[in-house]
Structure 1
Amino acid sequence: MRRHERMNALLELLGERGRLDVAEAATSLEVSVATMRRDMDALAEQQLLKRTRGGAVLAPVAYDLPIRYKRGHHASKHAVAETAAAMVEEGDVVGLSGGTTTTEIARSLATRPEFAEAGPQARLTIVTNSLNIANELAVRPQIRIVLTGGVAHSRSFELTGPYSEMVLRQLTLDIAFIGVNGIDAQWGGTVHDEAEASTNRLMAERAARAVVVADSSKLGLRCFARVGGADVFGTLVTDAAMDEASRQKFTDQGLRVVTAAPPMAGG
């Protein structure tokens, strides 16, 4: 892994966990403790994280970094996104929350042959509260973009609050894909912010099919605010690293579990 990719991975890891010590980060990213200290020091100089005794936390302005800081390619997220995107049919109204995995879903949908061809009418409608997803897809005339209103969060580029929810309550969706920061069988999907949890839950509730998307690094984690479990979602899409015991726990709670095929070697 190149240095800039490693730093992006470190920032994303901090965004998910909130705090990391040097040894924990070095183990997760498979580098030496000395290398991790240098990476943390470099990011601290850029004010993207704050060094603590023995570790780091994200700087207040970068608690959950906007997507432009997350350039590293993560094969598991891409595999999850491809599997989720395959559930969409031409003409569907698709809800997408913010997040790295849902951004990958948006990119996958935009490049699907049946959706990529320009025509007199939009082949797909995407409803999103994510500024970066709307920005990426707005240049594609074959995809109709509906961006909810709301208050923009600088850390995640998501719009939340009463304006966003007012728009969502007027819409019906065929399918919604909701990203989370953590998910376990008992608690369901969770995120760091209660406003994002509320908006994302409503988006899921407005959909005929609600799908929570999370790569295996999120499994077993609980964050501050609950989005929902089988009371909101019908399906969990994750990657092939999920073990059978974990799958059974989610299935017992009433969720259909779909695992993405592992990425091809060298892909």
Structure 2
Amino acid sequence: MNRSERLMAVLDLLAENGQLDVDEVVTALDVSPATVRRDLDTLAEQNLLTRTRGGAVGHSVSYDLPLRYKRGQRADEKAAIARAACALVSPGDVVGLCGGTTSTAIASELAARSDLSDAPGASITVVTNAINIASQLALRPHIKVVVTGGVVHARSYELTGDFADAVLGGLAIDIAFIGVNGVDIEGASAYDEGEARVNRLMAERARRAVIVADSEKLGRRAFATIASLDTFDVLLTDSRAASDSIAELTERGIDVRIAE
């Protein structure tokens, strides 16, 4: 395991547990205590965790890890959600995709769909504010890619700001998949207010707006509100979702679907 992989592994452990001590990391990664301390110091310097006397703790819910550190988290659940989301897309649709790991997984599923790739010319249009998704889909001849423009958010690769607002304001979207950092009875939310604003506009411009959120996001509220639940038609989540969370959201009128 090289240093970059080790730092990612430390962040994954922190994401699972919320806090770490040096001995836990030593055992989990089979490295020396001195190495663990140096790694924790490095991550603290990057504002990815807070050092404590014996280890580290995660930041509050108003803070998000960079996308590159989240790709392996709950990958199976996100893949299931992505497959269910992809099944909602029909040839000819204009599809909105905001940033995030679940949306990135949806992009991969769309790229691989044979009924889309076999059609002559572009069979769907993807509108996205995520430069990693645009890059992923740009060479797929069956997908027309429209990028919103804006200022790049270094953690999520999402474009935000007035340019993104202006482009989205002039588009009509058939179905939009909105990744969130939290969803509860008050609505969907994100860590960053700029991303929340773009996500809200994308949802509002869509004929059908779908929240895509793994079960860990249910019952949570992040810093910036995206929109209330009545903005959305469907919530796609995974089989680990708590029954009480599903019941609360269903009572608020959203169609909660479990991706298998």
TM-score interval for Structure 1 and Structure 2 normalised by the shorter chain: 0.7 to 0.9
Q: How far did residue 145 of structure 1 move?
A: 0.1
- Structure 1: which amino acid aligns with 2:116? F
Query: What SS does the aligned partner of 1:237 have?
Result: strand
Does residue 77 (structure 1) correspond to residue 72 (structure 2)? The answer is no
Give a deviation string over 1:161-185, Cα, whole Å, max 9, x none.
111010001000000000011111x
Which of residues 32, 37, 42 is equivalent to 2:39? 42
**Could you give the per-residue CA deviations for residues 206-240 of structure 1, whole angstroms, max 9, x where no partner exists?**
00000000001111111100112322111100001
Offset at residue 64 of structure 1 (A): 3.2
Distance 1:175 1:91 in 2: 11
Instruction: Give the residue type in structure 2 aligned to 1:168.
Output: L
| Alignment partners' CA distance in 2, 1:194 and 1:170 | 21
Partner of 2:137: 137
Alpha-carbon RMSD: 3.0
Kept after mapping to 1: 8 A contact 2:216/2:241:
no
- Which whole-Å deviations, capped at 9, do the CAs of 1:6-61 have from their partners, x for residues lacking one? 854653687x89x94226xx9xxxx9465468667525436553442142457xxx
In structure 2, distance between residues paired with 1:85 and 1:232 = 20
Q: What is the distance in 2 between the residues matched to 1:192 and 1:210?
A: 20
1:8·1:72 contact (CA, 8 Å) conserved in 2?
A: no
Q: Give the partner amino acid of 1:141.
A: P
Distance in 2 between the 1:206 and 1:5 partners? 39
Partner of 1:99: 100
Aligned in 2, Cα 1:162/1:117: closer, same or farther, shift over 3 Å? same
Which residue does 1:187 correspond to in 2? Answer: 186
Output the TM-score relative to the length of structure 2.
Answer: 0.83
Describe the superposition over 1:44-95 as per-residue Cα deviations: whole angstroms up to 9, x where unpaired: 436553442142457xxx953134x444261011111111111000110000
**1:246 match:** 245
CA contact (8 A) 2:67 2:101 kept: no
Q: 1:41 to 1:57 in 2, by over 3 A?
A: farther
Bigger Rg over Cα: 2
Tell whether the 8 Å contact from 1:5 to 1:71 is kept in structure 2 after alignment: no
**Structure 1 residues 33, 43: closer, same or farther in 2, change over 3 A?**
closer
- In structure 2, do the counterparts of structure 1 residues 40 and 190 end up closer, same or farther at CA, with 3 Å as the change threshold? farther
2:183, 2:36 → 1: CA distance?
Answer: 29
Which residues of structure 1 form unaligned runs of 5+? 262-267
In the alignment, what sits opposite 2:157?
Answer: 157
Q: Is the 8 A contact 2:215 2:242 kept in 1?
A: no
The 1:7–1:183 alpha-carbon spacing in structure 2 relative to 1, beyond 3 Å, is: farther
Residue 148 of structure 1: aligned partner: 148
Shift of 1:202: 0.4
Gaps of 5+ in 2: none
- Is residue 176 from structure 1 mapped to residue 173 from structure 2 by the alignment? no
**Contact 1:164/1:199 (<8 A) preserved:** yes
Distance 2:12 2:176 in 1: 23
> Residues 157, 39 of structure 1: CA spacing in aligned structure 2 closer, same or farther, 3 A cutoff?
farther
| Amino acid in structure 2 at the alignment position of 1:245 | D
The percent identity for this pair of structures is 46
Deviates further, 186-195 or 172-181: 186-195
In the TM superposition, residue 4 of structure 1 has moved relative to its aligned partner by 7.6
The amino acid of 2:256's aligned partner reads V
Say which is worse superposed, 147-156 or 224-233, in terms of deviation: 224-233
| Displacement of 1:123 | 0.8
Distance verdict in 2 for CA 1:227–1:207, change over 3 Å: same
Cα distance in 2, alignment partners of residues 181 and 88 from structure 1: 23
1:124 match: 124
